[in-house]
Amino acid sequence: MEKFKKVWRNNQHIVRLLIIMVVWLVFMALTRFRKFYTFNNFQTMASQFPEYGIMSMGVMLCMITGGIDLSCVGIANLTSILAAVWMTKLAGQAGVLSAGYYPLIFLLAIVVGTVCGALNGFLISRIRIPPILATLGVNQLLTGICIASTGGAAMSAFPKQFTDSVAGNIGGVVPVRLIVFVVLAVVIWFMLSRTTYGAKLHLLGTSEKVAFYSGLNTTGLLMRTYITSGVYSALGGLMMLATYASARADYGQQYTLQTILIVVLGGVSPNGGKGRLSGVVLAILVLKLLESGINRFQNVSSYYISLIWGGVLILAMMLDYFSDRSRARAR
Amino acid sequence: MHKTLKKLTGRNESYVFLILLALGLLIQIRSGQFFTGNNLVDIASAMIVPGMFAVGAFLVLISGGIDVSFPALASLAAYATTKSLLDAGYVGGVWLPILMALVIGAILGAFNGLFIGYFDLNAMIITLGASSVFKGFMQGTLESKQLAVIPTGMKAFGTSALFTATNRVSGITSRMPVAFLVFVAVVAVAWFLLNKTYFGRGIYAIGGNPASAKAAGFNVKRTKFFVFVIVGMISAVAGVIRVCMMQQCHPTNMLGMEMNIIAGVVLGGTAITGGAGTLTGCMLGTLLIVMVENSMILIGVPTTWKDVFVGALIVIGTGISAMQVKRASHAADKAKKITGKEAV
């Protein structure tokens, strides 16, 4: 019993998410078994969650430092627009883009993400603008650039070979986007638990002052974090480009809220210093299962999803509040 | 004289005012259309709704929080008010819609205030969630659609003018809506509240340092709660006034305004960390954003570039004020070091 309590205390968020997941899966099994438990549905889910899942992992890093990244959607859209332009340049509007160029497109995304992330990082760590404002401003700036360069219209006249391959499934079973997600998750896992970066990040989030006086290069650390987040947002943008097969300045607006919801639900404290990748990945899965499940009920308007997301976010915050308080009392 | 000059150059408001003046002159030179009666009236009229929102956002920022839910709150309150009065066949004056908006706004604001004030949860995340809840409630539960007709009383209020201004060259006439008086009233009440009441000083105090505010006898939780209630009321009224002025109720076209409003308030010198800022600065900053949004077309900048300018304005404006804070704390550190050495 004592042991169980300890496991619960250390993995509260994960246990909570697992309970939600199991309850929801049982509920779906009882009510909409045939519509929900199909190979197709699970394959669709696995190919849809990577776009915001990848962005969420970047936001997680920022939130562990006590900051936030609200610019992921702007970075993602800028990347997908630039990638569309780049592909047209490489192969011509009706041309065929050979597979040899694919790494170049990923490279473009990484460059765009690095530049935008570095701008965020510079504003936050050097100029000391609060992260909320800095990333908001950058988001508006990037969205503005997207609108100004496309006139607000959707871009869909570009060679589709790249998007088709990313949107496809390997061997007809495993979605390519899922593999990209897994690879990127492993990279984050490696950074957080196999290098000193993770420990430094948590220290920075707990107290920037202590981190600074312990001799950490806090500016460099923040730069690295926001650049990583920028690159992840840009790669999320490539996934979005593959999903929609077109690029537009205002795609994925709901992801700003969704990424924060995922990160908070996954047990990352908005005040910084706390958070684990496993919780966030689990939260990504739970959210997708919930969304897909709700969509199986035709009589529930899709507008309710926004209400449910907001409600769940506030509920998660309340649960954290009460569990923190009971823990404080137990001491 | 020297002292007042020094005081003025040290404040953000003066710079924002100079930028405003420069922008006005630039537009005047390029188009010759800025300092005309009808353009100024148009800007004042475009300022009403953002100005009221800005007062709300300002109060929250001063108290050390942030509110990104006010456009969703205003949309929900305005839609619920308009729809229910329309269904009831209401033909009376504008006082009832405004009263209803005040009540709905207070309730929705209390929703925010409860979590942020009494449970002390992160304001940014709670209001982000609340914004999503309000939007979902409006579109899901109330099944909001665009209302092309609004109650006659609201329509009459929206079209009535204090005075009109005619451009002598082009002959275009602009109306100064009566609603401008509501905006003035909101600003006056906010000014009185902040500067002349115990509650208002409490807002500054809890934003500056909650622990010392508590020690000084302010009820931090209750003050935060009521700040959100008041902001809810102001935002809801702004929503109804926007419906009156547009002569129709479009449920979603206010959403997404929050960032520009907050940017305007911060540009006016309000500290995002709370505790510092003036209503004058807040109004000047908002005016700057309104002018950039409405007048860029006069100097031949296409409207698609609007977001680029506003975004750049946010980054540069907040950057400058962040640099000032950094320099001030640097100077304080240096002073401490020097005095410390002397003491030894």
Tell me the C-alpha distance between B115 and B133, whole Å.
14
| Secondary structure element (H or E) that encloses residue A174, with its range | strand A174-175
pLDDT of residue A331: 59
For B229, the 3-state DSSP assignment is helix
B102: CB partners within 8 A, 6+ apart: B233, B236, B237
Q: Which of B235, B210, B196 is nearest to B75 (CA)?
A: B235
Nearest to A141 among B124, B273, B315 (CB): B315
pTM: 0.87
B12: CB partners within 8 A, 6+ apart: B267, B268, B269, B281, B321, B324
Q: Is residue B72 part of a domain?
A: yes
How much is the average pLDDT of A156-179? 89
Which domains are assigned to chain A?
13-330 (1.10.3470)
For the stretch A184-220, what's the b/e string if a residue is b when 16 or more beta carbons lie within 10 angstroms of its beta carbon? bbeebbebbeeeebbebbbbbbbebeebeeeebebee
B102 and B244 together in one domain = yes
How much is the average pLDDT of A142-171? 89
Tell me the C-alpha distance between B281 and B60, whole Å.
15
B291 and B313 together in one domain = no
Contact call for A309 and B305, based on CB within 8 A: no
pLDDT in tens, A197-241: 999 999 999 998 899 999 999 999 999 999 999 999 999 999 999
pLDDT of residue A159: 87
Tell me the C-alpha distance between B197 and A248, whole Å.
50
| Secondary structure element (H or E) that encloses residue A286, with its range | helix A277-295
Task: Count other C-beta atoms under 10 Å from residue A274's C-beta.
Answer: 17
pLDDT of residue B194: 93
Tell me the C-alpha distance between A226 and A217, whole Å.
15
CA distance B226 to chain A (A): 19
pLDDT of residue A93: 72
A55 close to A181: Cβ distance less than 8 angstroms: no
Percentage of residues in chain A having pLDDT higher than 70: 99
B77 and B136 together in one domain = yes
pLDDT of residue B339: 59
B188: CB partners within 8 A, 6+ apart: none
Question: Chain A residue with minimal CA distance to B112?
Answer: A314
Range of the domain at B144: 37-299
Tell me the C-alpha distance between B268 and B65, whole Å.
17
What length is written for chain B? Answer: 344
Contact call for A137 and B126, based on CB within 8 A: no
pLDDT of residue B341: 47
Q: Is residue B23 part of a domain?
A: no
Chain centroid, CA A154 distance in Å: 23
Task: Count other C-beta atoms under 10 Å from residue B84's C-beta.
Answer: 15
- Cβ-based burial of A284 (10 A; exposed 0-12, middle 13-18, buried ≥19): buried
Q: Is residue B178 part of a domain?
A: yes
Tell me the C-alpha distance between A154 and B166, whole Å.
40
B279 and B309 together in one domain = no
B49 and B89 together in one domain = yes
pLDDT of residue B3: 67
B228 and B318 together in one domain = no
pLDDT of residue B342: 41
Task: Count other C-beta atoms under 10 Å from residue B257's C-beta.
Answer: 18
CA dist list (Å): B251 to B83, B88, B92, B123, B138: 11, 19, 23, 25, 8
Contact call for A321 and B308, based on CB within 8 A: no
How much is the average pLDDT of A274-293? 92
How much is the average pLDDT of A65-93? 91
B271 and B343 together in one domain = no
How much is the average pLDDT of A144-157? 89
Predicted interface score ipTM higher than 0.85: no
Mean pLDDT, chain A, integer? 89
Task: Count other C-beta atoms under 10 Å from residue B86's C-beta.
Answer: 15
CA distance A96 to chain B (A): 32
B321 and B288 together in one domain = no
Nearest to B122 among A128, A270, A311 (CB): A270
Q: Is residue B247 part of a domain?
A: yes
CATH number at residue B215: 1.10.3470
Q: ∠A231-A234-A237 over CA atoms, to 5°?
A: 155
Nearest to B136 among A130, A303, A317 (CB): A303
* Token digits of residue B310: 């506003």
B228 and B319 together in one domain = no
CA dist list (Å): B314 to A98, A123, A158, A227, B169: 42, 12, 34, 20, 35
How much is the average pLDDT of A180-194? 95
B278 and B342 together in one domain = no
Q: Is residue B29 part of a domain?
A: no
For B174, the 3-state DSSP assignment is strand
Q: Is residue B326 part of a domain?
A: yes
pLDDT < 70 regions, chain B: 1-10, 332, 334-344
Question: Chain B residue with minimal CA distance to A150?
Answer: B304
Q: How far apart are the first and last CA of chain B?
A: 39
pLDDT in tens, A22-61: 998 999 999 888 888 999 999 999 999 999 999 999 999 9
B139 and B244 together in one domain = yes
Mutation site, A77, A264, A265, A307, interface B, largest B CB count within 10 A = A307
Task: Count other C-beta atoms under 10 Å from residue A6's C-beta.
Answer: 10
Question: Chain A residue with minimal CA distance to B308?
Answer: A144
Tell me the C-alpha distance between B266 and B260, whole Å.
10
Which residues between 66 and 125 in chain A have a beta carbon less than 8 angstroms from any beta carbon of chain B? 68, 123
CA dist list (Å): B322 to A137, A308, B163, B279: 14, 37, 42, 19
B66 and B141 together in one domain = yes
Which residues in chain A have their CB less than 8 angstroms from residue B134's CB?
A: 310
Which residues in chain B have their CB less than 8 angstroms from residue A132's CB?
A: 66, 124, 272
Q: Is residue B5 part of a domain?
A: no
Q: What domain count does chain B have?
A: 2
pLDDT of residue B51: 96
Q: Is residue B59 part of a domain?
A: yes
Residue that has been written with the tokens 């006898």 in this structure: B217
A136 interface with B at CB cutoff 8 Å: yes
Contact call for A148 and B66, based on CB within 8 A: no
B153 close to B100: Cβ distance less than 8 angstroms: no
A257 interface with B at CB cutoff 8 Å: yes
pLDDT in tens, B237-273: 999 999 999 888 888 888 878 888 988 898 888 888 8
